[in-house]
Structures are given as structure tokens and as C-alpha cells.
């Protein structure tokens, strides 16, 4: 009996979830032990612990419980909530909700359990034990009353969630609060998805069972079975329990589903050389995965992190191109995602092919550019204003294969020049140029000729070609004394030869031009020039003018002297003869070649001095000639030594004005001849090509002759 009573107390505390204080009251030989205060929750149950003891001769028969108000006797029939013999007079609302924990009254256990509590069940409870004493009806009741307080339902169900793995079946368990044998509660499951809307988990099944612990305690359990997936991760599952009297309680839990998704890589996979490579690999998984970056073919880990990892490379180069691997390690799983990285670049164009070819051959140049993606390549001739030749022989190839070939059939000298290969790459343009040289045969120009004057043969031969030709004079094989002057301009060679000949019977002189590409020959016609032709050349004009001026001066001096002798007899003793001495000064300097720079300096000298030099040069028939080719040497005439006596000096004063006028006339004639010479020189220069001038004094020699 004692053990049963304490067991009842223990269960009461678990069920009511309240602190109980039990007191024992005795009246005579009857004693009742009863809890003073109990607290319970609506919808659950409460156990009121109770035990009694009687004296000898009393036999308990029935247990009666009353619920009464304060300050009332609490022993009226209408206050009965439980009667072990007759439940006819039980208060309304308590029918079937109150029962004894121990049906055998002889065990002296008067504890009761009240199921499906309501807030209205709060109040005072009193017990009475009816029986027989010596075969007469008798009984006793507790003086102490038990206070029961029923509060709102606050207990929550217990939800048990095992480890969830995607693709595997899972079972969730919900245990209702309270240990009561009253009404079976209604248990439902709801699932709150990503949108927050409650619904039932599709493909799930629920089951309910009641586990009986004792005759008056039960445990209500509900299970939910479903196939877990990643969509259930981080969602909420709620177990909702509805007790009698519309008392509802619920408990929820967040689902954690072990899962992993395919790695996702974001970032630009094609970058320019020098730019930043920035790639992020993220993996949706639970628990978070370990992510590592690596390059295919390399064991080096570039970067690793949890959940996501970023591959960051500054100043990308072509060496960073290739396949990169993002590896995600999750529990016992390993996933990989590959990505190809391309670094765009372009190198300097490389031109291959022969740049020095013969005239008439085929020009074939190939321009190739190492780049990614392949660059657009275009050829351009810098010597032309357009991208193609007017002849139609120009083949301009452009493509996006990384190379382009330029082909020109039957090249000519005009095809020489600079050719540029232009490679166009996204936002980048690079160029490379090459100089093309077309070698061509030697050609002798038509202006070449020979002039024979005063037994001096002067021949001029002008030839052009590439490589630069050399000019030979077969005529010189029969002569040991001659002078040669050679000037060069661009691809033109000007050779002038001078030699003294007597009774030269040939009408032509052969000029031979030769380079490694071929040989050209031409017979130059000889043109004879008379010494008396005044305007034949500036050289002859200057020579005649000096002679005439000299003769006029002598005649005038003689006339003046005669007049003076006849008019003034008194001065005959003082008269004298005018002696004139002509000194010839011959230059013996070594011959030398005349180049363009020397011609420029000669042209900058005084024009009057040039005329005098040319006159002096004409005075000398043949220059001083050595055994080797040399320039023509010229003599200087010195007119400064004119000897006169004192009387002639006085006579010169009277003829000074006349001589000045004659000298002025001669000077004007010289200027007129110089003007004509300049005009002839201009006409010859216009006949030349404007883009290929020949700088030589030989043209001046031709004009003079």
C-alpha cells in the first residue's frame, strides 16, 4: 500500500507538472493523506494523489470525490464528480473524465486522474471514503481540501529528426505532451517551403500510435516518412497536436539535409593579356564543402576555401591559358568542374620571303602573326596611295587564319618600295614593314652623247640600274692619257671622259654599262663644234670675249698713243712703247673626282669668277695628263701684268672712259650668255624624272659644249 501511494505521487508530479505538498489528517482511527495544491494545463490531465488508513473493523466500500466552491460544505450530491459505485449523480462535464488510479479500494489508494482538463476544472476537491464498520454503513471524509489550478496549454510536443541525407528515406517522430489515458489527440504534420506557405510534404506518409505506460497513462506518437531531398534543406516541419476542447499545441524544427550540388563557376573565361583573371567556384551543399582550385596537369593547389573559392590572377599571360579544375569535397563525395581559360594575345607580325628579286620574277611574301583569336591580316604598299595596283597584277590577300600571302606577278622596278603587313586584333593593331628591292638590268639613257671640239673629245654616258651599274669606255683601251669624272645619284651613274684626239675618224664612241643582272651597250654619236661659234657654250663664249676684249684694248691703246704723238710734239721724248706681257700660269695639281658636294660649293662662288675661270679653261687645249684616269685640268690666264711707261699711264687717263664702256659691253654680253645657259639647263632638268634628280656637273658640260 505504501509503495502504491508514493508511486501515485510520482506520476502525479509528472502528469500535472506541478509541485505537490501532501498532508495527512486523522480523526480518531481514520487518516487521509492528500495533496494540498496542484497545477495542471488545459487539454492534459491531472492526478490528485490520495491514500487513507482506517481502524480495526472498518471495511472501505466506495470512494467519492467532490468539487466544491470555497466556503461550502462540499459534501452535497450535486457536487460529486466521481463515485466508484454510482455515477448517476456526477456533475455535468465530468462524466468519463475521472477515474481511480487503483480500482481495488482495499489497497487504500484513493488517487484519481482527471483527463481532458478545462480551465473550468479549477477549484477545490474533497474525498470521502464510505464503508462498513461492524456491518453497519459508515464513512469518513477529509477535512483538508485539494486546490487544483488549470492553466492554458503551454507544453509542446517533442519532434525527433534523424540525420537526413538526400535521396534516402527519413522518418520524423512527434511525441504529444502529457501522459494521459483520456481522449486521443489529433496529430498533423505541416511543411513550410521556401516561399513560407504551409503544405504537406508530397510523397510522405503518417502513422499514429498510442503507447500504454500504465493503466492510466499513455503516450501518443505520430511519425512522418518521406524521401529527403535538397529542396527540404533549411525548411521547417511542424508537428501540430489538437487535444479535446480545441486545445492546440505545436512544435517545429528546421530540416538539415545532407546534399551537394554541381560546382558553379562564374567569371570571364576569355581575357586579354595583362588583364586580371577572376573566377569564383561555389558549391551548394550541406554541410559546406571544401573547394579547391587547381590547373590541369599541375599538382599545385591554387586556392581553397569552404563553400566557395575565388581564383584571382593579376596580369594574366599566355602561360595562364589552359584548363582549370574546381574540386569540391563533401563528406564521402568528390565533385569536379572543369573550365577552359583563354588569354587573348598578339605578337609582332613576321614576314617571310625574298625581298630582293629580279625584274620579271614573282614577289611572294607571307605575313604570319601568332595570336589568339587569329588576327585579320592585310598587306599594304606604302609607295601606292591605294591597296592595289592599277595593272591588276597586285594580289592583296587578307584572312583570319593568322597568315596572309602577298603575290605580285612579273615585278618591275616600280614595285620596289616598302610593304606593310597590318594585323588587326580585338582593340589592337600591330604592323610590320619590309623593304622590297627589284633588281633590273642596266639601261643607258638617250641623253648620252659625245662632243668633239679643238681636238678634245668629251663623252658623257648616263646609265641606270640596280644594283648600281659600272660604265666602261672601250675607246680608252687605245689611249693612255685621259680624264674621267663619275657621279652617282640614286640608281643613276654619270660618267664623263675627256681625251685629246687628232684626226679621229670614227663617228661614234661605244659606252658599256654593266651590273650583275646584265650588260647594255650604246654607240654615242660624235657632234663636232666649231671654235668660232659664239653661243656654243659658256666656256667658248668666255674665251672669245676675253680675246676680243684683249685685242680691243691693244688697238685702243695704239690709237691713243698715235694721236698723242701727232698732237703733241713736245712730248715725243717722253713717249714710250706699251709692253704687254701675257703670263700663262699652269696648274699642276693632281686630278680628282667631282662629287655633288663639290658642285654645290662651286655653284656658290662668284659668277664673274666662274666666267673668268671658264675662259681660262678654254685657253688650254689639253690638260696635263698622267698615265691613270684623271680629271681635266684647266689653266689660269693672268691679265694683271700689263706694263706701261709713265707717258702711257697719263694717256690711259684720257681713254679710261672709253675702256670702261667697252668693258661694260663685254660684261653685259657675258650676263646675257649666262642667262641663256641657265635656261638651257632648266629645260634639260625638266626632261628628267622629278622623283629621280641627277646631281652632276656633267649636264653643265653638255650644255656648254
What CATH number is associated with residue 238? Answer: 2.60.40.10
CA–CA distance, 552 with 659 (Å, rounded to integer): 9
Number of helical H runs and strand E runs in the chain:
6, 51
- The domain boundary, picked from 197, 225, 258, lies at 258
Residue 247 reports pLDDT greater than 80: yes
Asked, for residue 597, whether it belongs to a domain, the answer is: yes
pLDDT (average), residues 211-222: 86
Across 246-264, average pLDDT: 92
Give domain status of residue 524, yes or no: no
Residues 13 and 143 in one domain: yes
Cβ neighbours around 391 below 10 Å, total: 12
Taking alpha carbons only, the member of 520, 365, 349 closest to residue 437 is 365
What residues contact 299, with CB distance under 8 A and at least 6 apart? none
Residue 262 CA to residue 330 CA, distance in Å, equals 11
pLDDT digits (tens, 9 = 90+) for 124-163: 999 999 999 888 888 898 888 999 999 999 999 999 999 9
510 located within any domain: no
Same domain, 46 and 146: yes
CA angle in degrees (0–180, nearest 5) for 693-698-703: 100
Domain check: are 243 and 99 in the same one? no
- Count CB atoms within 10 A of the CB of residue 439: 19
> Are 275 and 177 contained in the same domain?
no
- Residue, of 655 and 482, whose pLDDT is higher: 482
Q: How many domains does the chain have?
A: 5
Domain boundary among the residues 412, 441, 470 is at 441
Rg (CA), the chain: 69
Q: Is 410 domain-assigned?
A: yes
Mean pLDDT of 394-401: 54
Helix (H) or strand (E) holding 654, with range, is: helix 646-687
Does residue 559 share a domain with residue 590? yes
**Mean pLDDT computed over 28-40:** 89
What pLDDT shows up at residue 303? 75
pLDDT above 80: residue 412: yes
Which is more confident, 4 or 106? 106
Tell me what pLDDT residue 31 has: 92
How would residue 705 be classed by pLDDT, with cut points 50, 70 and 90?
Answer: very low
Task: Pick the range with the lowest mean pLDDT from 25-29, 323-327, 486-490, 581-585.
Answer: 581-585
Find the mean pLDDT for residues 96-123. 91
Same domain, 141 and 39: yes
Same domain, 272 and 406: no
pLDDT value of position 10: 42
Q: Report how far apart, in Å, the C-alpha atoms of 690 and of each of 235, 360, 471, 596, 694 are.
A: 92, 25, 24, 18, 10
Task: Examine the domain organization and report whether 43 and 118 are in the same domain.
Answer: yes
* pLDDT: which is higher, 18 or 379: 379
Indicate whether 586 pLDDT > 90: no
Per-residue DSSP letter, 106: G
Q: What per-residue confidence (pLDDT) applies to 236?
A: 92
Asked if the model's pLDDT at residue 88 lies above 80, the reply is no
In a domain, 466, yes or no: no
Q: Are residues 316 and 361 in the same domain?
A: no
pLDDT at residue 481, rounded to an integer: 85
Q: What residues contact 176, with CB distance under 8 A and at least 6 apart? A: 157, 185, 187, 219, 220, 221, 222, 241
Looking from the CA of 430 toward its CB, the CA atoms found within 13 Å total 16
SS3 content of the chain, % helix, strand, coil (to 5): 20, 45, 35
Per-residue pLDDT averaged across 313-342, rounded?
Answer: 92
- Residue 677's pLDDT band, with cuts at 50, 70 and 90, is low
Average pLDDT over residues 629-656: 38
The per-residue pLDDT of the chain, averaged, comes to 75
Domain with 293 in it: 261-345
User: Do residues 91 and 105 both lie within one domain?
Assistant: yes
Specify if 165 maps to a domain. Answer: yes
Query: E-assigned strands of 467-610?
Result: 470-472, 483-489, 492-500, 508-515, 518-528, 579-580, 583-585
> Is 107 in the same domain as 32?
yes
Domain finish residue from 345, 366, 391: 345
The reported pTM is 0.52
- 139 vs 677 pLDDT, higher one: 139
Q: What percent of the chain has pLDDT over 70?
A: 72
Distance CA(525)–CA(667), nearest Å, equals 35
| Section 214-242 average pLDDT | 90
Q: Is residue 546 part of a domain?
A: yes
Burial of 45 (0-12, 13-18, 19+ CB in 10 A): buried
373 and 306: one domain? no
Q: Answer with the residue of higher pLDDT: 686 or 317.
A: 317
* pLDDT tens profile 457-472: 899 999 988 888 899 9
Q: Above pLDDT 90, what percent of the chain?
A: 37
Residues in the chain: 705
Higher pLDDT among residues 391 and 489, named by residue: 489
Q: Is residue 421 part of a domain?
A: yes
For residue 308, is pLDDT > 50? Answer: yes
Amino acid at each position: 500500500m505504501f509503495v502504491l501511494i508514493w508511486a501515485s505521487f510520482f506520476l502525479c508530479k509528472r502528469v500535472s507538472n506541478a509541485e505537490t505538498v501532501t498532508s495527512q489528517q486523522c480523526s480518531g482511527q481514520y487518516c487521509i493523506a492528500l495533496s494540498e495544491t496542484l497545477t495542471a494545463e488545459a487539454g492534459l490531465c491531472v492526478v490528485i494523489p490520495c491514500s487513507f488508513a482506517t481502524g480495526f473493523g472498518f471495511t472501505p466500500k466506495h470512494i467519492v470525490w467532490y468539487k466544491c466552491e470555497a466556503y461550502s460544505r462540499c459534501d452535497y450530491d450535486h457536487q460529486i464528480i466521481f463515485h466508484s459505485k454510482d455515477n448517476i449523480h456526477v456533475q455535468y462535464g465530468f462524466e468519463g473524465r475521472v477515474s481511480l488510479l487503483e480500482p481495488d479500494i482495499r489497497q487504500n489508494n484513493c488517487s484519481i486522474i482527471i483527463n481532458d482538463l478545462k480551465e473550468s476544472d479549477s477549484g477545490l476537491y474533497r474525498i470521502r471514503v464510505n464503508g462498513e464498520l461492524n456491518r453497519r454503513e459508515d464513512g469518513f471524509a477529509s477535512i483538508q481540501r485539494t486546490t487544483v489550478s488549470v492553466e492554458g496549454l503551454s507544453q509542446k510536443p517533442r519532434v525527433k529528426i534523424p540525420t537526413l541525407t538526400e535521396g534516402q528515406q527519413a522518418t520524423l517522430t512527434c511525441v504529444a505532451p502529457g501522459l494521459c489515458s483520456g481522449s486521443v489527440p489529433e496529430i498533423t504534420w505541416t511543411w513550410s517551403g521556401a516561399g513560407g506557405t504551409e503544405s504537406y510534404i508530397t510523397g510522405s506518409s503518417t502513422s499514429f500510435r498510442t503507447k500504454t505506460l500504465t493503466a492510466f497513462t499513455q503516450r501518443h506518437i505520430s511519425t512522418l516518412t518521406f524521401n529527403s531531398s535538397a529542396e527540404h534543406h533549411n525548411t521547417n516541419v511542424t508537428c501540430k497536436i489538437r487535444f479535446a476542447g480545441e486545445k492546440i499545441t505545436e512544435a517545429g524544427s528546421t530540416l538539415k539535409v545532407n546534399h551537394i550540388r554541381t560546382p558553379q563557376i562564374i567569371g570571364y573565361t576569355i581575357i586579354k593579356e595583362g588583364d586580371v583573371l577572376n573566377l569564383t567556384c561555389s558549391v551548394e551543399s550541406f554541410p559546406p564543402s571544401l573547394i579547391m582550385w587547381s590547373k590541369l596537369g599541375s599538382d599545385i593547389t591554387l586556392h581553397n576555401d569552404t563553400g566557395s573559392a575565388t581564383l584571382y590572377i593579376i596580369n594574366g599571360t599566355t602561360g595562364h591559358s589552359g584548363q582549370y579544375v574546381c574540386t569540391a569535397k563533401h563528406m564521402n563525395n568528390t565533385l569536379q568542374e572543369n573550365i577552359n581559360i583563354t588569354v587573348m594575345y598578339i605578337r609582332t607580325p613576321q614576314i617571310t620571303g625574298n625581298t630582293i628579286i629580279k625584274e620579271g620574277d614573282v614577289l611572294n611574301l607571307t605575313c604570319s602573326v601568332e595570336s589568339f583569336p587569329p588576327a585579320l591580316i592585310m598587306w599594304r604598299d606604302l609607295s601606292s596611295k591605294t591597296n592595289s595596283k592599277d595593272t591588276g597584277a597586285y594580289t592583296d590577300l587578307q584572312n583570319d587564319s593568322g597568315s596572309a600571302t602577298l603575290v605580285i606577278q612579273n615585278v618591275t622596278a616600280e614595285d620596289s618600295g616598302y610593304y606593310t603587313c597590318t594585323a588587326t586584333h580585338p582593340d589592337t593593331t600591330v604592323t610590320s614593314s619590309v623593304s622590297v628591292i627589284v633588281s633590273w638590268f642596266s639601261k643607258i639613257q638617250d641623253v648620252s652623247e659625245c662632243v668633239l671640239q679643238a681636238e678634245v673629245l668629251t663623252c658623257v654616258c648616263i646609265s641606270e640600274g640596280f644594283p648600281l651599274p659600272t660604265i666602261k669606255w672601250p675607246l680608252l683601251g687605245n689611249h693612255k692619257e685621259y680624264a674621267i669624272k663619275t657621279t652617282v645619284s640614286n640608281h643613276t651613274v654619270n660618267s664623263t671622259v675627256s681625251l685629246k684626239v687628232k684626226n679621229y675618224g670614227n663617228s661614234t664612241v661605244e659606252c658599256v654599262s654593266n651590273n650583275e643582272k646584265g650588260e647594255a651597250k650604246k654607240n654615242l654619236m660624235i657632234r663636232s663644234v666649231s671654235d668660232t661659234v659664239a653661243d656654243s657654250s659658256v666656256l667658248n663664249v668666255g674665251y672669245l670675249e676675253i680675246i676680243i676684249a684683249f685685242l680691243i684694248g691693244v688697238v685702243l691703246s695704239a690709237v691713243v698713243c698715235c694721236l698723242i704723238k701727232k698732237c703733241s710734239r713736245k712730248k715725243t721724248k717722253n713717249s714710250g712703247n706699251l709692253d704687254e706681257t701675257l703670263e700663262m700660269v699652269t696648274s699642276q695639281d693632281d686630278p680628282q673626282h667631282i662629287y655633288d658636294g663639290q658642285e654645290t660649293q662651286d655653284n656658290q662662288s662668284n659668277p664673274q669668277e666662274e666666267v673668268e675661270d671658264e675662259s681660262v679653261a678654254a685657253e688650254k687645249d689639253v690638260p696635263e695628263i698622267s698615265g691613270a684616269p684623271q680629271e681635266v685640268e684647266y689653266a689660269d690666264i693672268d691679265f694683271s701684268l700689263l706694263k706701261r711707261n709713265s707717258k702711257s699711264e697719263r694717256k690711259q687717263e684720257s681713254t679710261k672712259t672709253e675702256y670702261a664702256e667697252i668693258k661694260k659691253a663685254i660684261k653685259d654680253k657675258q650676263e646675257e650668255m649666262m642667262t641663256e645657259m641657265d635656261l638651257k639647263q632648266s629645260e634639260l632638268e625638266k626632261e628628267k624624272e622629278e622623283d629621280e634628280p641627277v646631281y652632276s656637273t656633267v649636264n653643265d658640260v653638255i650644255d656648254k659644249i
